[in-house]
Amino acid sequence: MNKKLFALVDCNNFYASCERLFRPELKEKPIVVLSNNDGCIVARSNEAKALGISMGAPYFKSKELIRRHNVQVFSSNYSLYGDLSHRVMSVLQDMEPEVEIYSIDEAFISLPASNHQDLTDYAKSLKARVEQWVGIPVSVGIAPTKTLAKLAGRVAKKNGKYGGVFALTDHDELDALLSSIDVGDVWGIGRRSAEKLHRQGILNVFQLKNANDNWLRKNLTVTGLRTAMELRGTSCIPLDSAQPNKKAIISSRSFGQPISSLADLKEAIATHVSIAAKKLRDQRSAAHSIHVFIYTNRFKEDAPQYSGNMTIPLPQASSYTPTMIKHAMQGLERVYKPGYKYNKAGVMLTELVPQDRVQRNLFAQENRESLPLMETVDRINQAWGRNTIRFAVEGLKQSWQMKQSHKSPAYTTSWAEIPVVKASL
| Class of the domain covering 14-77 | alpha beta
Give the whole-angstrom CA distance, residue 317 versus residue 285. 9
CB 239 within 8 A of CB 148: no
Q: Which of 19, 106, 230, 267 is catalytic?
A: 106
Tell me how crowded residue 105 is: count the other CB atoms within 10 A of its CB.
Answer: 23
pLDDT at 368: 62
pLDDT at 310: 93
Burial class of residue 286 (count of CB atoms within 10 Å of its CB; 0-12, 13-18, 19+): buried
Query: How sure is the predictor about 86, in pLDDT bands with cuts at 50, 70 and 90?
Result: very high
pLDDT at 1: 41
Q: Where in the chain is the domain with CATH 3.40.1170.60?
A: 14-77
Q: Where in the chain is the domain with CATH 3.30.70.270?
A: 4-11+81-231
Give the whole-angstrom CA distance, residue 107 versus residue 85. 10
Q: Where in the chain is the domain with CATH 3.30.1490.100?
A: 249-394
Read off the pLDDT of each residue in 153-162 and give the average, rounded to a whole number.
Answer: 90
Read off the pLDDT of each residue in 379-391 and give the average, rounded to a whole number.
Answer: 84
* 106 among known catalytic residues: yes
DSSP state of 249: E
**Reported pTM:** 0.79
- Report pLDDT digits (tens) over 356-368: 777 666 555 665 6
Closest CA relative to residue 386, chosen from 367, 413, 405 = 413
CATH number of 249-394: 3.30.1490.100
Q: What is the DSSP string of 186-211?
A: STT--HHHHHHHHHTT--BHHHHHTS
Q: Which residues contact 13 (CB under 8 A, 6 or more apart)?
A: 43, 44, 45, 46
Burial class of residue 164 (count of CB atoms within 10 Å of its CB; 0-12, 13-18, 19+): buried
Assign domain 4-11+81-231 to its CATH superfamily: Reverse transcriptase/Diguanylate cyclase domain (3.30.70.270)
Distances (CA, A) of 394 to 84, 168, 245, 274, 399: 28, 52, 27, 9, 11
